[in-house]
Amino acid sequence: MHLMILGCGKTGRLVAEVARARHHKVQVLTSKENRAACALTPDHLQNVDVVIDFTTPVAVLENVEACVRASKTMVVGTTGWYQELSRVRQMVEQGGTGFLYAANFSIGVNLFFELARTAARSLRHDYRGQIFERHHANKKDAPSGTALTVARIIREASGAELEITSFREGEVVGMHELVFDSPADTIYLCHDAKSRLAFAEGAVRAAEWLAGKKGFFDFEQVWSEL
């Protein structure tokens, strides 16, 4: 496949490396080259199969609009834009394109989501829950998209709203902890990312899965098929 990677940060560069290792043709656009989605024209995207976005929350909407106009399939790993989720879904469905997004493309984190859904039952038995997340000092959004996803899963499973505490420090790749505490004991669930490799591999595999499909997908719906 011919993949276009938007964003040349640490994760974007790693996505490009993984894609090349999986024998895809790769083109990378930096934020300067694609200011206000100026490079995402139908002509420029003509031979591209899937666009993968690891940019910033502010850039995502313009990138999505441009890709929909060009009828191009898109995978988005950027977080911090989910308040516009319904608008993006509408654009994608009206445009008849393919779109897949995720708060986190790591298989381990998606297993963590499943454990969180099961553990939410503890809230019916005198437990109180809390979410903690730590990321590197340069991460733009807080709470993280992954922490917000955990909170949504708990809310859907139990009706409870959990407090999220965020830390931004050093070079932490990403740590998420879900704690359930009762007078009798404490349950800890933790996912600690050692590197960005799992995010990058998941994003490329998502692009491979999405190629040729139309519709609006969340990685939670499809990761087990990968």
Given a contact cutoff of 8 angstroms between Cβ atoms, the answer to whether 93 and 123 are in contact is no
From the candidates 10, 44, 139, 214, give the one annotated as an active-site residue: 139
The pairing of strands 98-101 and 215-218 is parallel
Residues 6+ apart with CB under 8 A from 111: none
Quick check: is 44 catalytic?
no
135 belongs to the catalytic site: yes
The residue from 72, 135, 176, 191 that is catalytic is 135
132 CB burial (10 A radius; 0-12, 13-18, 19+): middle
Strand duo 25-29 + 2-6: pairing? parallel
d(Cα 104, Cα 141) in Å, to the nearest integer? 14
Select from 112, 89, 106, 77 the least CA-distant residue to 223: 106
Give the residue numbers annotated as catalytic, written as ranges: 135, 139
